[in-house]
């Protein structure tokens, strides 16, 4: 990034304790504080779709999983699903959404 005429600069204010924590993490990652902040922003900006923002981590009741049609109802939306250990659906259990790939959710029994 350094020296690139298209790089943008701006002043970022933060308290000393936050800076110290970032500096420690940057040091562990063998990066400058600036590059570490840029990498955090790049990794977390605009790359998460709706499912990754709103669905992952949700709890689903087994009764909301329909093995006959292969759909699960999560937050009012029907998705295809996979059970992470390929087991049969337990209608009395609860499941956590652990992954979203397009319209397919991976569920794990909890």
pLDDT tens for the 110 residues of the chain, in order: 555 667 888 888 999 999 999 999 889 888 899 988 888 887 666 555 566 667 888 899 999 999 999 999 888 889 999 999 989 999 999 999 998 888 899 999 99
Per-residue pLDDT tens over the stretch 8-29: 888 889 999 999 999 998 898 8
- Percent of the chain scoring above 90 in pLDDT: 48
Residues 54 and 84 placed together within one structural domain of the fold: yes
pTM here? Answer: 0.55
Residues 40 and 91 placed together within one structural domain of the fold: no
Please report the DSSP string for the chain in residue order: -TT-TT---------HHHHHHHHHHHHHTT--HHHHHHHHHHHHSS---HIIIIITT-EEEGGGEETTTTEEEETTEEEEEEETT-PPP-TTSEEEEEEEETTEEEEEE-
Could you tell me the residue range of the domain that residue 95 belongs to?
A: 50-109
Residues 20 and 35 placed together within one structural domain of the fold: yes
Residues 25 and 42 placed together within one structural domain of the fold: yes
pLDDT of residue 48: 58
Distance CA 104, CA 110 (A): 19
pLDDT of residue 71: 95
Tokens of 51: 């499912």
pLDDT of residue 49: 59
In angstroms, how far apart are the furthest CA atoms of the chain? 60
pLDDT of residue 100: 85
Distance CA 30, CA 24 (A): 10
| 5 occurs within a structural domain | no
């Amino acid at each position: 990034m350094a020296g690139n005429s298209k790089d943008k600069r701006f002043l970022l204010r933060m308290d000393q304790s936050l800076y110290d924590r970032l500096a420690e993490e940057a040091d562990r990652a063998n990066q400058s504080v600036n590059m570490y902040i840029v990498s955090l922003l790049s990794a977390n900006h605009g790359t998460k779709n709706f499912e990754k923002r709103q669905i992952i981590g949700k709890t689903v009741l087994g009764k909301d999983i329909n093995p006959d049609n292969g759909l699960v109802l999560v937050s009012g939306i029907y998705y295809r699903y996979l059970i992470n250990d390929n087991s049969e659906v337990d209608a009395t259990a609860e499941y956590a959404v652990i992954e979203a790939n397009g319209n397919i959710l991976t569920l794990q029994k909890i």
